[in-house]
């Protein structure tokens, strides 16, 4: 079976576009032909829009839902995500692995278009996937819509015409942006597993949930809160098919954010101490709070990590 995250993602994008009013987003046909959905710059956007953006990011091969959950004595709106195509939908589509920088314009790009541009290429080699499509669907975490030069650059990298580019833009510090970042919880765990040597193609199913961070108008503060939702409140579960329980157990205990040397304070504080340089932060921190893995080959199940309600409260200003 041939899987195209861009073709499936485009189906969701078109429904999103048709229902712009109930989703509180704005749709613009750019003079170059690209369609741009503003989900939080001038538009108010909302949690429902964030749910749809999460599913677009997953390339249409994952589902998201909004619910309420309790973290200690803290009750928060929460996004739940699940996928039966974990490697392709998360690493192959949702992962924010493309830094779009054209002149003064900058955005973190995720979504199906990455599988055309192969950003980053080594990750696609690990999952053995590349998409083929005449249309590219991309989600930008940015404070402004893409410039004409940025649109041309993205289309060129994806080897599509600019008029076949479908773009969603949502800043970190908006409602839909906060939802879609928490919606990366399953991807966060899979990426950490991959970084410590686990073959992502052996993951059969993934699900997880994380609190939706309260909105903060400053982008760096909002980034801190959204990261903390994953690091201190994110819970994941995976089914895998793996040959060695002992090795699997050893890897599972290395995944949670609590194993990082930078664990223990709101992410904004860590980022500030690192002089706002991501490269000075231990990459092992970017992981879910909790991971549980069931090995379908042996029936064994392993879990590690814990939710930290106190740090969530501190981060959220409670």
Number of structural domains, the chain?
A: 1
Model pLDDT for residues 234-277, shown as the tens digit of each residue = 999 999 999 999 999 999 999 999 999 999 999 999 999 988 88
> By residue range, what is the domain housing residue 51?
5-316
Model pLDDT for residues 104-152, shown as the tens digit of each residue = 999 999 999 999 999 999 999 999 999 999 999 999 999 999 999 999 9
What pLDDT score does 1 carry? 62
The answer to whether 102 touches 149, Cβ cutoff 8 Å, is yes
**What CATH number should be reported for the domain holding residue 195?**
3.30.1030.10
Q: The whole model's pTM is what?
A: 0.96
Dig out the tokens for 245 from the structure.
């329980």
pLDDT, average across residues 216-232: 96
Is 2 a residue whose pLDDT tops 90? no
Mean pLDDT of the chain: 97
β-strand pairing of 63-71 with 290-295? unpaired
CA 178 to chain centroid, in Å, comes to 11
d(Cα 305, Cα 16) in Å, to the nearest integer? 36
* 219 Cβ neighbours under 8 A, 6+ residues apart: 143, 171, 172, 173
Look at residues 148, 116, 121 and name the one whose alpha carbon lies nearest to residue 131. 116
pLDDT, average across residues 8-15: 98
Q: How many CA atoms lie within 13 A of 66 on its CB side?
A: 18
């Amino acid at each position: 079976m041939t899987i195209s995250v861009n073709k499936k993602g485009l189906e969701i994008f078109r429904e999103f576009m048709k229902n712009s009013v109930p989703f509180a987003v704005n749709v613009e046909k750019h003079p170059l032909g690209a369609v741009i959905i503003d989900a939080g710059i001038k538009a108010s956007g909302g949690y429902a829009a964030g749910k749809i953006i999460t599913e677009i990011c997953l390339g249409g091969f994952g589902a998201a839902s909004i619910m309420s959950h309790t973290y200690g004595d803290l009750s928060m709106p929460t996004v739940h995500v699940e996928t039966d195509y974990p490697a392709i939908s998360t690493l192959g589509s949702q992962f924010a692995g493309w830094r779009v920088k054209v002149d003064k314009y900058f955005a973190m790009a995720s979504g199906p278009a990455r599988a055309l541009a192969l950003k980053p290429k080594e990750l696609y080699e690990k999952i053995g996937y590349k998409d083929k499509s005449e249309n590219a669907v991309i989600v930008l975490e940015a404070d402004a819509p893409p410039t004409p030069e940025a649109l041309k650059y993205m289309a060129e990298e994806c080897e599509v015409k600019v008029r076949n580019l479908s773009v969603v833009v949502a800043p970190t510090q908006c409602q839909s942006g906060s939802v879609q970042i928490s919606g990366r919880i399953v991807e966060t765990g899979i990426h950490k597993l991959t970084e410590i040597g686990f073959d992502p193609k052996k993951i059969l199913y993934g699900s997880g949930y994380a609190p939706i961070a309260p909105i903060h108008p400053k982008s760096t503060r909002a980034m801190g809160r959204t990261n903390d939702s994953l690091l201190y409140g994110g819970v994941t579960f995976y089914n895998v098919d793996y040959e060695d329980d002992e090795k699997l157990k050893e890897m599972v205990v290395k995944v949670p954010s609590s194993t990082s040397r930078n664990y223990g304070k709101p992410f904004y504080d860590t980022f500030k101490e690192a002089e706002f340089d991501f490269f000075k932060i231990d990459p092992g921190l970017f992981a879910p709070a909790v991971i549980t893995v069931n090995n379908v080959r042996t029936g064994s199940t392993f879990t590690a990590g814990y939710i930290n309600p106190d740090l969530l409260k501190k981060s959220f200003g409670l």
